[in-house]
Amino acid sequence: MTAITLINGDGIGPEICDSVVKIIEASGLKIDWDVQTAGADVIEDEGTPLPPRVLESIKVNKVALKAPVTTPIGRDFRSVNVQLRRALDLYANVRPCKNLPNIKTKFKNVDLVVIRENTEDLYAGHEHKIDENTAETIKVITRKASDRICRYAFDYATRYKRKEVCVATKANICKLSDGLFLECFRNVAKEFPKINTREILVDNLCMQLVQDPTVFDVLVMPNMYGDIVSDLTAGLIGGLGVAQGANLGLYGAVFEPVHGSAPDLKGKNKANPSALLLSAIEMLRYIKEDKYADKIEKALFKTFEAGEFTEDLGGKLSTTEFTDAVIAKLK
């Protein structure tokens, strides 16, 4: 039986994890879930939101499914998500964005993927106060990280027969840092002559994405822009409830939705588990359980086609009712 680390997170995390574990179990696939708690709830007992046992578990299993973890604003501990990605060097954050069956959105034929550098930029953790009225956060962009994420994007485009890789930066303003990212993109692009390239400033990208997202294919960008743009692209296909993601590195992979812990929905049995389920489906493909991935995806799409939705998509189903609806379509 395959062992997979399961971080059930906080906020809506435990509810959507329950749903996804039940659906996978109902598909007939047996997984040995190594459940690891993390986040604000474990600080009191273990002194840290990300205890070493969590990292150890992922290092051993090499694959994890992760629900969101809250990062309180202004409190004195670093984001579990950022720490995890850095500690395991999960350098590529891959966030596909494709129309889903029967989910009505402004645009048809959206099929793009945001590839976000996941280890540095404004997330490097170099932040300090100069005095009471001045604070600085240092934006770190290195050749090594920029080169490997751009290479990842071109490799991805080649593997999935994509036609174009577009780089988004603010190289006009951050001339040195984003300028270095752009330089790496241009250098790597030369090794992939069959893939078209496009360069865009990230503000213009946002404007064009909301006017016509169908012209975009693979997008690669530094960490902060990727964080923001992937919430925007989630909105193009129905919202955060259906936006999947994966953090990938040389030594492991952590699959997680784009959304956060949605404290406003915690404990209400209202969260949409689809984003975590879609992330889990990609995880199953990653561990070569394609048969089960296809089976679960089919059941999820049939549920959408039947117009059975949670409230975020205009439906009436609770999390547990939606889970049962997907399970019913597995049979």
Q: Are 58 and 35 in contact (CB under 8 A)?
A: no
Question: Which residue in 117, 121, 256, 289 binds ligand NAI (CB under 6 A)?
Answer: 256
The strand pairing partners of 63, in sequence order, are: 253
**Per CB under 6 A, does 272 bind ligand NAI?**
yes
**Per CB under 6 A, does 259 bind ligand NAI?**
yes
Longest Cα–Cα distance of the chain, Å, equals 63
Buried b (16+ CB within 10 A) or exposed e, 264-291: ebbeeebbbbbbbbbbbbbbbebbebee
By C-beta, is 90 or 262 nearer to ligand NAI?
A: 262
**Per CB under 6 A, does 261 bind ligand NAI?**
yes
- Choices 65-73, 118-126, 149-157, 181-189; region in contact with ligand NAI by CB under 6 A: 65-73
Question: Which residue in 240, 253, 278, 296 binds ligand NAI (CB under 6 A)?
Answer: 240
**Per CB under 6 A, does 102 bind ligand NAI?**
no
Instruction: State how beta strands 92-98 and 111-117 pair.
Output: antiparallel
| Residue number, nearest CB to ligand NAI | 260
**Per CB under 6 A, does 269 bind ligand NAI?**
no
Separation between Cα atoms, residue 55 and residue 62, nearest integer Å: 10
Question: Which residue in 8, 36, 81, 119 binds ligand NAI (CB under 6 A)?
Answer: 81
Question: Which residue in 69, 115, 145, 325 binds ligand NAI (CB under 6 A)?
Answer: 69
- At 149 the three-state DSSP class reads helix
Separation between Cα atoms, residue 72 and residue 67, nearest integer Å: 16
By C-beta, is 69 or 157 nearer to ligand NAI?
A: 69
By C-beta, is 217 or 256 nearer to ligand NAI?
A: 256
Q: What are the Cα distances from residue 247, in Å, to 5, 45, 125, 210, 242?
A: 14, 28, 19, 25, 17
**Per CB under 6 A, does 83 bind ligand NAI?**
no
Q: What are the Cα distances from residue 103, in Å, to 4, 267, 297, 323?
A: 31, 25, 15, 17
Q: Which residues bind ligand NAI (CB under 6 A)?
A: 12, 68-71, 81, 240-241, 256, 259-265, 271-272, 275, 312
